[in-house]
Amino acid sequence: MPKTGLTSDEIKEKALQIAEDKIRYYGFEKFRLTDIAKELKVSQAALYNHFPDKAALLDAISERWLSRLDNALALITQKEASPQQLILEWFQRYHELKKEKVLQDPELYKSFSMAAELLKPFIVQHLNNVHNQLLILVQKATAAGEIHSESPAKAVRLLLEATVSFHHPQMVLEHKAEHRDPLLKDLVEVMLLGFQDTDSKR
Q: Where are the domains of the chain?
A: 8-48, 59-200
> Looking at residues 122-148, what average pLDDT do you find?
96
Burial status of residue 53 (CB atoms within 10 A of its CB: 0-12, 13-18, 19 or more): exposed
Nearest to 130, CA basis, from 90, 186, 178: 90
**CATH topology match: 8-48 vs 59-200:** no
Q: Which CATH architecture has domain 8-48?
A: Orthogonal Bundle (1.10)
33-66 residue pLDDT tens? 898 999 998 888 889 989 999 999 999 999 999 9
Fold of 59-200: Tetracycline Repressor; domain 2 (1.10.357)
79-111 residue pLDDT tens? 999 999 999 999 999 999 999 999 999 999 999
Look at residue 59 in the predicted model and tell me its pLDDT.
95
Helices and strands: H and E segment counts in the chain: 10, 0
Report the predicted TM-score, pTM, of the whole model to 2 decimal places.
0.90
Q: At what angle do helices 8-26 and 54-77 cross, to 10 degrees?
A: 100
Q: How far apart are CA 100 and CA 109, in angstroms?
A: 10
Q: How far apart are CA 119 and CA 195, in angstroms?
A: 31
pLDDT band (50, 70, 90) for residue 3: low
